[in-house]
């Protein structure tokens, strides 16, 4: 049975001391839960502080990105061994905010800068291949924009994102993979995807794993939903049969809200 994964993506919020304070509260409230897996993904600079707070609890630590080389002249980048050294177990890969839609919610954004931040399937594939030998578990984000959805391209976009990121990776290396369905139009907008539709697309993701690999992998990989998840909508989303957890943005910055979301997960 797939254990629900409730992950908080803190994005570019919280200093190390603020992150440690939130992690301390969460540790007290839900730190020893074993029915669900609780994951915190702070910014790079807060990883160490949060790691120290959650050590000895059941909570897990994840990074929001990684670079594919182990070391070298790559100014501003963080390598897989560095993440392992601070206690990370997971890495978010291919979030829409790093896939070339970076900063689109910024009203002052000059869109000509976007390509400098954009991630491609090829860079994601390198990152995925780089973290697996270190035992880091990928959370691969996929999802369509509103324009892509309205054009009827949701499935083809997601399949291409999965094929690109997983290219050349053997199924037996992917048992710890999680895939997060994050429709871009639902992220940070308060416009949550309807639970039936989120379940349908998560089922499509599982079917794609079955097509690309086999039944066993498809039944093992956890498929999460992300995009405006809150305590008020989490119960319905998390009780869908194809949804194995949530990747929570804004609501994960509030201890009470995140705790409530974690209690919405079904006992499996
Ligand atoms: P929100 O929950 O703020 O919509 O963000 C979702 C997300 O992008 C998680 O990775």
Q: DSSP assignment, residue 161?
A: H
| 3-state secondary structure at position 166 | helix
**Residue 112's pLDDT is what?**
73
* Residue 160 structure tokens: 């291409």
Q: Do 147 and 104 contact (CB within 8 A), yes or no?
A: no
Report how far residue 211's alpha carbon sits from residue 240's, in angstroms, rounded to the nearest whole number: 22
Q: What is the mean pLDDT of residues 192-207?
A: 97
For residue 139, the surrounding DSSP H or E stretch is: strand 137-142
Q: Does the CB atom of residue 98 touch ligand 1 within 6 A?
A: no
254 in contact with ligand 1, CB cutoff 6 A: no
What tokens were used for 122? 């090829």
| Element at 119 (helix H, strand E) | none
Q: What is the 3-state secondary structure (H, E, C) of 188-241?
A: CCCCCCCHHHHHHHHHHHHHHHHHHCCHHHHHHCEEEEECCCCHHHHHHHHCCC
Could you tell me the two tokens for 47?
């990883």
For residue 69, the CA-to-ligand 1 centroid distance in Å is: 27
Helices (H), the chain: 16-30, 47-54, 80-85, 114-117, 121-131, 146-150, 154-166, 195-212, 215-220, 231-238, 255-264
Please state, in angstroms and as integers, the Cα–Cα distance from residue 66 to each residue in 17, 23, 86, 103, 228, following that order: 22, 22, 13, 19, 24
pLDDT for the residue 189: 84
Whole-number Å distance between alpha carbons of 141 and 82: 22
**What is the pTM for the complete model shown?**
0.96
Confidence label for 89 from pLDDT (cuts 50, 70 and 90): very high
- Cβ(38)–Cβ(22) below 8 Å: no
Domains of the chain with CATH codes: 5-262 (3.20.20.70)
Pick the residue whose CA is nearest to atom 9 on ligand 1: 249
Q: What is the pLDDT of residues 39-52, one digit of tens each?
A: 999 999 999 999 99
Which of the residues are catalytic? Answer: 95, 182
Position 20 scores a pLDDT of 98
- Residue 104 is predicted with a pLDDT of 58
Would you say residue 268 has pLDDT above 80?
A: no
Kindly tell me if the per-residue pLDDT of 94 is higher than 60.
Answer: yes
Ligand 1 mutation target, pool 90, 248, 253, most atoms within 8 A of CB: 248
């Amino acid at each position: 049975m797939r254990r629900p994964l409730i992950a908080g993506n803190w994005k570019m919020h919280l200093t190390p001391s603020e992150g440690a304070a939130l992690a301390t509260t969460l540790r007290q409230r839900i730190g020893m839960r074993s029915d669900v897996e609780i994951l915190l993904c702070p910014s790079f600079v807060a990883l160490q502080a949060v790691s120290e707070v959650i050590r000895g609890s059941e909570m897990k630590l994840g990074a929001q990105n990684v670079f594919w080389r182990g070391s070298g002249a790559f100014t501003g980048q963080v390598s897989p061994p560095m993440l392992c050294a601070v206690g990370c177990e997971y890495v978010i890969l291919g979030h829409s905010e790093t896939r070339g839609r970076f900063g689109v919610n910024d009203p002052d954004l000059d869109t000509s800068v976007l390509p400098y931040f954009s991630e491609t399937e090829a860079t994601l594939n390198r990152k995925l291949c780089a973290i697996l030998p270190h035992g880091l578990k990928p959370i691969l984000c996929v999802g369509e924009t509103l324009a892509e959805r309205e054009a009827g391209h949701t499935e083809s976009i997601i399949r291409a994102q999965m094929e690109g990121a997983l290219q050349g990776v053997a199924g037996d290396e992917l048992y710890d993979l999680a895939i997060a369905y994050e429709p871009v139009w639902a992220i940070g907008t308060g416009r949550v995807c309807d639970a039936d539709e989120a379940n349908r697309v998560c089922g499509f993701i599982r079917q794609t794993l079955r097509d690309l690999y086999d039944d066993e992998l498809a039944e093992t990989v956890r498929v999460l939903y992300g995009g405006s998840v809150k305590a008020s909508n989490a119960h319905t989303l998390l009780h869908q049969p194809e949804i194995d957890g949530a990747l929570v943005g804004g609501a994960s910055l509030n201890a009470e809200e995140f705790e409530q979301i974690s209690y919405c997960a079904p006992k499996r």
